[in-house]
């Protein structure tokens, strides 16, 4: 009997084709629908391997839906929203993918920065509604980007450095803060100046967030931090939504304590704080960081590589809980 694989949303056809050569594959065909928990449990109950995406929550109930589940193959870099302990207790491998998303995430970071700073979406909406202010009208005057100060919070990692490289083309001064300072030669190469978090927030015209989500970084940017920012400054978040206290951000934007925000991630995805949706000084995208066709295809094939290894009774190349292979059953 061929193994059965369930995929929670469509992925690259070439990846599905590879899987169909070795297994029976079913998937949710609607890229606009995140499968609910009941549907997910029902699918897992009749599958040997679950192929899940970043937005899926794989809790203990989902894992328990099938006592013979062989693997949870995730298309994300860390198994957030997967009950790792429950899977490991049952010696179910959880697989992830390598950090392939650096350049694509830096691109969307800059797309948000430019769009909110230069009021691109507001201009787009006016044109679509038949409104065309004079070409030198003051109506949509916006922020300068070139030559301004960019502050990278948690900016010493892969994506922060990629954002910094792009900032060089705009002649920006780039400040960064993180729990670990880079070696001096790395700072010079990237054009970075290390400072404290509070000084970064007070000095930057654009504050860009790059911290990983951990217990100590949840709400790293809250009411106190937002109050330190300039009224003319913008907040850009392409890391994880819960890095920001979204309610505090919404209040700061409504009260005009900061100029605007560009957000690709949200605290309780797919839900977004309602007041953010009505503000003209926000640019909001639905977690598009890795939404590049070639990249997504590579990501899907990494998942397939993991799955094929498991089907061949081998340890997969990107196993999050490899201890299950060294522990005797």
3-state secondary structure 46-86: CCCEEEECCCCCECHHHHHCCCCCCEEEECCCCCCCECHHH
37 membership: H or E segment, kind and range: helix 37-45
Asked whether the CA dihedral 35, 36, 42, 46 is positive or negative, the reply is: positive
Query: Quick one: pLDDT at residue 328?
Result: 53
**Residue 63: which of 50, 51, 74 has the closest Cα?**
50
4 membership: H or E segment, kind and range: strand 4-7
Q: Which CATH class is domain 102-284?
A: alpha beta
Tokens matching residue 271:
């839900």
Asked whether the CA dihedral 66, 326, 318, 179 is positive or negative, the reply is: positive
Q: How many C-beta atoms lie closer than 10 Å to residue 233's C-beta? A: 25
Give the Cα separation of 25 and 94 in Å (integer). 19
Task: Name the CA radius of gyration of the chain, rounded.
Answer: 22
Query: Quick one: pLDDT at residue 326?
Result: 87
* Long-range CB contacts (within 8 A, 24+) of 289-292: 289/101, 289/104, 289/105, 289/108, 289/238, 289/264, 289/265, 290/100, 290/101, 290/104, 290/105, 291/104, 291/108, 292/104, 292/107
Is 102-284 in the same CATH topology as 4-99+292-326?
Answer: yes
Q: Which residues are catalytic?
A: 240, 269, 287
**Residue 302: which of 76, 115, 128, 114 has the closest Cα?**
76
**Half-sphere exposure of residue 292: CA atoms within 13 angstroms, side-chain side:** 15
Tokens matching residue 258:
């900061």
Instruction: Yes or no: say if 315 and 325 are a contact pair by the CB < 8 Å rule.
Output: yes
141 membership: H or E segment, kind and range: none
Give the Cα separation of 76 and 8 in Å (integer). 13
How would you write the pLDDT of the chain (329 residues) with one tens digit per residue?
899 999 999 999 999 999 999 999 999 999 999 999 999 999 999 999 999 999 999 999 999 999 999 999 999 999 989 999 999 999 999 999 999 999 999 999 999 999 999 999 999 999 999 999 989 999 999 999 999 999 999 989 999 999 999 999 999 999 999 999 999 999 999 999 999 999 999 999 999 999 999 999 999 999 999 999 999 999 999 999 999 999 999 999 999 999 999 999 999 999 999 999 999 999 999 999 999 999 999 999 999 999 999 999 999 999 999 999 985 54
Tokens matching residue 220:
């790293």
Give the Cα separation of 197 and 240 in Å (integer). 18
Query: Quick one: pLDDT at residue 1?
Result: 87
- Per domain, the residue ranges of the chain are 4-99+292-326, 102-284
Q: What share of the chain is helix, strand, coil (3-state, %, to 5)?
A: 40, 15, 45
Query: Quick one: pLDDT at residue 151?
Result: 98
- Indicate the fold that domain 4-99+292-326 takes in CATH: Rossmann fold (3.40.50)
Asked whether the CA dihedral 64, 65, 70, 71 is positive or negative, the reply is: negative
């Amino acid at each position: 009997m061929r193994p059965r694989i369930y995929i929670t949303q469509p992925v690259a056809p070439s990846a599905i084709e590879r899987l169909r050569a070795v297994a029976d594959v079913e998937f949710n065909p609607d890229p606009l629908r995140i499968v609910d928990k009941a549907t997910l449990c029902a699918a897992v109950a009749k599958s040997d391997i679950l192929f899940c995406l970043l937005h899926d929550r794989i809790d203990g109930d989902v894992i328990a839906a099938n006592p013979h589940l062989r693997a949870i193959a995730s298309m994300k870099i860390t198994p957030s929203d997967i009950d790792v302990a429950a899977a490991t207790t049952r010696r179910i491998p959880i697989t992830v993918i390598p950090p392939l998303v650096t350049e694509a995430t830096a691109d969307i970071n800059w797309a948000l920065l430019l769009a909110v700073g230069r009021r691109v979406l507001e201009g787009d909406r006016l044109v679509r509604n038949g409104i065309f202010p004079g070409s030198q009208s003051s109506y949509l005057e916006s922020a300068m980007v070139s030559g301004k100060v960019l502050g990278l919070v948690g900016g010493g990692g892969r994506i922060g450095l990629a954002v910094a490289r792009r900032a060089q083309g705009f002649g920006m001064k780039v400040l960064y803060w993180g729990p670990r300072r880079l070696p001096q030669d790395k700072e010079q190469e990237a054009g970075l100046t290390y400072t404290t978090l509070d000084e970064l927030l007070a000095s930057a015209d654009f504050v860009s967030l790059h911290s990983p989500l951990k217990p100590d970084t949840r709400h790293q940017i809250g009411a106190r931090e937002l109050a330190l920012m300039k009224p003319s400054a913008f907040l850009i978040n392409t890391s994880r939504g819960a890095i920001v206290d979204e309610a505090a951000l919404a209040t700061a934007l409504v009260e005009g304590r900061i100029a605007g925000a560009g957000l690709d991630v949200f605290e309780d995805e797919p839900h977004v704080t309602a007041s953010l949706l009505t503000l003209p000084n926000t640019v909001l995208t639905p977690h598009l960081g890795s939404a590049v066709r070639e990249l997504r295809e590579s990501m899907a094939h990494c998942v397939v590589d993991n799955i094929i290894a498991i089907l061949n009774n081998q340890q997969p190349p990107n196993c999050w809980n490899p201890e299950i292979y060294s522990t005797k059953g």
